[in-house]
Amino acid sequence: MARKAKPLAWLHGEVKTPPFGQAARIEAGYLLRELQRGTSLGMPHSRPMPAIGARCHELRVVDERETWRIIYRVDADAIVIVEVFAKKTTQTPQAVLEACRKRLKEYVMRPSKRRKLERKGWRFGTAREFLGLSEEEAAYVELRLRLADSLKNRRRRRHLTQAALARLIQSSQSRVAKMEGGDPSVSLDLLVRSLLALGASSRDLARTIAAASLH
């Protein structure tokens, strides 16, 4: 059974989505959707931020002119976003650290407290709502998720390692890992060709696409 996606939580009016370019917006959407699904992200996309608190991390999103950071905490019932900022130096500014700690101190989530948090300005929603994704952008993110899942599941059913699949498609193990991780540098064309190499039919691909469009 698929895991239920956690909602995103953010303090409306204080935590604002930056003016991402389209590619960065889609990458951020993909990474946030992975977090919602319970995926534990690591470098180069995410790193722990113990200076802020337990279970706190930062996403790294590279845009055309900026490198953005999204600070978040993984809770049992939500992904709590406490700051979004452009990283200008190697060190996280002290003001950012203090703002994150302050917001997390105010955020105490229990079922009985949700309405109180909403009255204080906290919002609960999806990656699409937080980032302002268009319908087409949201569908593209879901399609990448479904294709990456399908590739990983089909490879495992055939008892192939990533290295074995790489040899089959004349690529590298690291490239296969990026495909299965939904890395934005991997084209949809390569994902589809890899699925076909694993025996997927056009009907299989159609079902995957349909599942993404119905999300």
pLDDT at 215 over 80: no
pLDDT category of residue 12 using cuts at 50, 70 and 90: confident
Q: Which residue has the higher pLDDT, 13 or 168?
A: 168
Which stretches of the chain are assigned E, i.e. beta strand? Answer: 8-11, 46-48, 56-62, 67-74, 79-86, 122-125
Query: Which residues face 86 on adjacent strands?
Result: 68
Model confidence pLDDT, tens digit, residues 57-75:
999 998 988 899 999 999 9
Right CATH number for 135-213 from 1.10.260.40, 2.40.50.320, 1.10.3210.10, 1.10.3720.10? Answer: 1.10.260.40
Distance in angstroms (rounded) separating the CA atoms of residues 188 and 210 = 16
pLDDT at 33 over 60: yes
What's the chain's average pLDDT?
89
Q: Which residue has the higher pLDDT, 166 or 1?
A: 166
Distance in angstroms (rounded) separating the CA atoms of residues 161 and 153 = 12
- Average pLDDT for 137-150: 91
Q: Which residue has the higher pLDDT, 108 or 95?
A: 95
- Average pLDDT for 192-197: 95
3-state secondary structure 89-141: CCCCCHHHHHHHHHHHHHCCCCHHHHHHHHHCCEEEECHHHHHCCCHHHHHHH
Share of the chain above pLDDT 90, in %: 63
CA distances from 152 to 4, 133, 141, 142, 170 (A): 20, 26, 17, 16, 17
Q: Which of 21-25, 95-99, 112-116, 142-146 has the lowest mean pLDDT?
A: 112-116
- Average pLDDT for 197-215: 83
The answer to whether 97 and 45 have CB atoms below 8 angstroms apart is no
- Average pLDDT for 20-41: 91
Q: Which residue has the higher pLDDT, 192 or 18?
A: 192
pLDDT category of residue 1 using cuts at 50, 70 and 90: very low
Q: Record the pTM.
A: 0.84
Q: Which of 72-81, 91-100, 113-122 has the lowest mean pLDDT?
A: 113-122
pLDDT at 185 over 90: no
The predicted pLDDT at position 3 comes to 60
pLDDT at 24 over 60: yes
Domains of the chain, by residue range, sit at 8-131, 135-213
